[in-house]
Each structure stands twice: as structure tokens, then as C-alpha cells.
């Protein structure tokens, strides 16, 4: 049996997220599986590394699937890109060992969040960033970000829909860069809960707007109460940027 690994990019703006839904609504997984089914003549299930939320984008989603057919990497890649919608792109297809699993073998994930921090809106960034008019205090935001680093119980930064048995995750780093009105926040960790990155960014924004102190992050983590976190950042600004194996 051949195991195919895919590097996928997508604009998630018009989709209900990565994971296929029972009611048949638009999802990234569903679209790719539908094309693969046409290619081999039967249903195919793919395994994605990260179940991105509705409206979230990906620069480097990884997924794999197995088939008995001996199709070349280029045949699979070309077929998918020919029939998939233009907002989903298969950048690479690689035949990997049969035991490779896109989700279980991942050692780390990096998410990128973009904020357009100018008084005026940017029409070319509106689908791919969150617009905040008031100037953010990025020095305070950087300080607050450091309190997330390490192993913590992230119950406060999860969604009530989270079905994971453990809310403990490790954040390896949070980096913030600012250039000409664009703020980019990169969050790297061993795994993330439903809405976790958007809630982390939402709290960093609260710090940047001087609504809470940087030191309050530790208190919120310790309290494990979801209603103590800042607002959730818009889905449009979030990208799955990198997965490490």
C-alpha cells in the first residue's frame, strides 16, 4: 500500500474549517477527499495534522492518505490541482513510509497571526488580518507573550467545544514582529486546543490596548476559567504556517 504525504495551502475564508462534517458543508478535507475519490473510483479518507477552524488559512497544512494504486507523486499532485477549487493548492506530494501519520508524528506546529494596526483599513489585507485602529503597545504584548511559554493547563484559553481529555500543552515560543503597520505574531507549540491560538492572541491584544496587565496572563492560566480571557481574535488573521516532524 502506498502512503502519500501532501503539503497543502488554502484560503479558508469560505470554508467551515478543515475537518469533514457529517452534514456535507464545505470543508477543506471534504473537498480534497471528493477529488481523490474521483481519481481512484472509491471513497478515500485523508488524515490532516491540524484541524483548522472555520475561516482559518494554511500556508503549510500536512495530510496523508493510503491507496493500493501505484500512482506517481506528480500524477496525484497534478490531478488534485486540476480539479480542486482555486483557493486550495497542493504544493507537494511525496510517497512516504507506510507508518507515517500526519498528526501523530508531528513534533511541533507554528501558527501565524496578522494584525493590521493602522487607523485606516487596508483593502488588500482585509481577508487575511484583523484590523485594529488603536495603536497597540507591542512592548507590553511581547512581555505578556513570555508568560505563555512552557507547559501549562490551557483550559482558560480553550473553547467549551474542546473534547480533549487533557488541556495541558507546551508553548515553545511566541514571537512578535512589527513593520509598517503590520504586526505578526508567531505561536509555536507541541499542540493546540480548539480556538486556543485565537484566544491567546485575543488576550495579547487586550494587553496591547492596556485593558489588562501582562502579569495577568499567569493569573488567568492558574484560574482555568474561560470567562477571564480576552476576546477571541478574528479567524481571518490566523494561518497554520509550519509543522515540524
123-157 pLDDT, tens digit per residue, is 999 999 999 999 999 999 999 999 999 999 999 99
| Residue 47 to residue 139: CA distance in whole angstroms | 39
The phi and psi torsions of 54 (rounded to 5 degrees) equal -55, 130
Q: Give 224 or 140, the one with higher predicted confidence.
A: 140
- Looking at the structure of the chain, the number of domains it has is 2
58-102 pLDDT, tens digit per residue, is 999 999 999 999 999 999 999 999 999 999 999 999 999 999 999
Are 148 and 202 in the same domain?
A: yes
Please report how many Cα atoms fall inside a 13 Å half-sphere around the Cα of residue 174, on the Cβ side: 20
Indicate if 179 belongs to the active site: no
Model confidence at 10, in pLDDT bands (50, 70, 90)? very high
Spatial neighbors of 148 by CB under 8 A, at least 6 apart, are 171, 174, 187, 200, 217, 221
Are 82 and 112 in the same domain?
A: no
Domain assignment of residue 53, given as a range: 2-96
The pLDDT of residue 14 is: 95
Which among 96, 130, 150 is the end of a domain?
96
The pLDDT of residue 22 is: 76
The answer to whether 131 and 116 are in contact (CB under 8 A) is yes
Residue 117 maps to a domain:
yes
Model confidence at 204, in pLDDT bands (50, 70, 90)? very high
In the chain, pLDDT over 70 holds for what percent of residues?
98
Are 156 and 228 in the same domain?
A: yes
| Residue 76 to residue 115: CA distance in whole angstroms | 36
Residue 29 maps to a domain:
yes
The pLDDT of residue 231 is: 86
Residue 203 maps to a domain:
yes
pLDDT at 25 over 70: yes
Residue 101 maps to a domain:
no
Catalytic residue among 11, 53, 210, 244: 53
pLDDT at 230 over 80: no
Amino acid at each position: 500500500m502506498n502512503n502519500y504525504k501532501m503539503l497543502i495551502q488554502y484560503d479558508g475564508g469560505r470554508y467551515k474549517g478543515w475537518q469533514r462534517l457529517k452534514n456535507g458543508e464545505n470543508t477543506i478535507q471534504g473537498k480534497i477527499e471528493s477529488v481523490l475519490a474521483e481519481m481512484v473510483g472509491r471513497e478515500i479518507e485523508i488524515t490532516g495534522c491540524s484541524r483548522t477552524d472555520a475561516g482559518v488559512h494554511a500556508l503549510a497544512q500536512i495530510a496523508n492518505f493510503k491507496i493500493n494504486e501505484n500512482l506517481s507523486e506528480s500524477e496525484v499532485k497534478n490531478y488534485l490541482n486540476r480539479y480542486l477549487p482555486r483557493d486550495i493548492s497542493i504544493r507537494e506530494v511525496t510517497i512516504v513510509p507506510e507508518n507515517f501519520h500526519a498528526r501523530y508524528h508531528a513534533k511541533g506546529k507554528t501558527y501565524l497571526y496578522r494584525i493590521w494596526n493602522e487607523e485606516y483599513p487596508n483593502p488588500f489585507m482585509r481577508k487575511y488580518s484583523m484590523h485594529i485602529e488603536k495603536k497597540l503597545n507591542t512592548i507590553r504584548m511581547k512581555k505578556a507573550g513570555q508568560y505563555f511559554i512552557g507547559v501549562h493547563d490551557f483550559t482558560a484559553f480553550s473553547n467549551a467545544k474542546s473534547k480533549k481529555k487533557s488541556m495541558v500543552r507546551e508553548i515553545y515560543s511566541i514571537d512578535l514582529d512589527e513593520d509598517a503597520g503590520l504586526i505578526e505574531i508567531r505561536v509555536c507549540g507541541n499542540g493546540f486546543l480548539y480556538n486556543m491560538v485565537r484566544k491567546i492572541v485575543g488576550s495579547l491584544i487586550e494587553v496591547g490596548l492596556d485593558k489588562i496587565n501582562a502579569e495577568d496572563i499567569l493569573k488567568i492560566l492558574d484560574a482555568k476559567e474561560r470567562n477571564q480571557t480576552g476576546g477571541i481574535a478574528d479567524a481571518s488573521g490566523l494561518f497554520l504556517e509550519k509543522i515540524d516532524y
